């Protein structure tokens, strides 16, 4: 009876943990979770099917309108088609290459395929350049099922507060890498490699030298041994 109670309590505890963790696994998320400011990023939107029945048949992702990307390209996906929506900018902006942007991609919608229950899929986009005046970018997404139900992953995640039930995929932006420090790293790496190579050469030379010395010592040992043997034979002959 006691064993049954323990097993029962363990099962309940495991079920509770799985239930509490289930919503996290069902989130539409973006990978990687962070990228450097001022650069380009390849973003992969991971979409799991959290429904017990029904297939995911569409994903609609909105790009940041307050920080529009100058460059957006979509990776083709077998079995799916995509539609890119562009929106005129309130004020034209000049890109780093000197060209003028009057509109930017504001939305990408994939459809035509399906993600079955218990499965997930990824949708890849390359964007740039990332802004350098904010610490995060939000990508509100709507996941549609063939049952007619839509799940809106649009809630903002506020630091210090519990995660919302349907958080929007969010990309954290980190400080851009310093080229000078990068150069220092390369220089340091080169120095380390040179030192390692020198150590290897020295080690090989040392090993070769020790090998030669060992051969010489061995040869001398044979000579001394032969001389000693010859003397011993001569002494026995003289006694005879």
Domain residue ranges in the chain = 28-176, 179-240
| Mean predicted lDDT score pLDDT of the chain | 77
Q: Is the pLDDT of residue 237 over 80?
A: no
Of 110-119, 141-150, 210-219, the least confident:
210-219
Q: Is the pLDDT of residue 107 over 90?
A: yes
| 9, HSE (Cβ side, Cα atoms, 13 Å) | 6
CA distance 44 to 112: 19
Of 107 and 180, which is predicted with more confidence? Answer: 107
Nearest to 145 by CA among 114, 175, 102: 114
Tokens of 183: 């150069």
**What is the structure's pLDDT at 200?**
39
Whole-number pLDDT of residue 130: 96
Map residue 147 onto helix, strand or coil.
Answer: coil
Distance of alpha carbon 54 from alpha carbon 149, whole angstroms: 9
Q: State the sign of the Cα–Cα–Cα–Cα dihedral 30, 35, 37, 43.
A: negative
For residue 131, the number of C-alpha atoms closer than 13 Å in the C-beta half-sphere is 16
pTM of the model: 0.64
Question: For residue range 39-67, what is the model confidence (pLDDT) as tens digits?
Answer: 999 999 999 998 888 999 999 999 999 99
pLDDT recorded at residue 186: 38
CA–CA separation, 152 and 125 (whole Å) = 20
Confidence of residue 203 (pLDDT cuts 50, 70, 90): very low
Report the percentage of the chain scoring pLDDT > 90: 52
**144-194: pLDDT as tens digits:** 999 999 999 999 988 888 989 999 999 999 998 754 444 444 344 444 444
Q: Is a pLDDT exceeding 90 seen at residue 207?
A: no
For residue 214, give Cα distances in angstroms to 139, 190, 201: 71, 36, 20
Q: Is pLDDT at 17 greater than 50 in this prediction?
A: no
28-176 CATH, one of 3.40.50.300, 2.60.40.2230, 1.25.40.390, 3.40.1390.20: 2.60.40.2230
Rounded to an integer, the average pLDDT of 5-30 is 50
């Amino acid at each position: 009876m006691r064993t049954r109670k323990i097993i029962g309590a363990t099962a309940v505890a495991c079920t509770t943990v799985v239930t509490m963790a289930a919503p996290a696994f069902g989130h539409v998320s973006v990978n990687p979770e962070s990228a450097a400011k001022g650069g380009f990023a390849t973003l992969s939107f991971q979409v799991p099917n959290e429904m017990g029945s029904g297939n995911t048949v569409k994903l609609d992702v909105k790009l940041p309108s307050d920080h529009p990307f100058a460059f957006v390209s979509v990776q083709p996906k077998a079995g799916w088609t995509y539609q890119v929506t562009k929106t005129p900018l309130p004020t034209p902006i000049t890109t780093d290459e000197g060209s003028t942007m009057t509109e930017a991609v504001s939305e990408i919608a994939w459809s035509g395929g399906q993600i079955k229950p218990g499965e997930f899929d990824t949708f890849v986009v390359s964007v740039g350049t990332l802004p350098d005046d904010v610490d995060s970018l939000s990508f509100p997404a709507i996941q549609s099922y063939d049952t007619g139900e839509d799940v809106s992953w649009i809630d903002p995640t506020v630091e210090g507060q519990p995660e919302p039930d349907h958080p929007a995929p969010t990309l954290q932006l980190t400080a851009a890498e310093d080229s000078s420090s990068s150069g220092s790293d390369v220089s340091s790496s080169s120095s380390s490699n040179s030192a390692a190579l020198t150590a290897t050469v020295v080690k090989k030379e040392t090993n070769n030298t020790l090998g030669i010395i060992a051969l010489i010592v061995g040869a001398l040992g044979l000579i001394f041994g032969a001389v000693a043997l010859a003397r011993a034979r001569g002494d026995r002959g003289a006694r005879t």
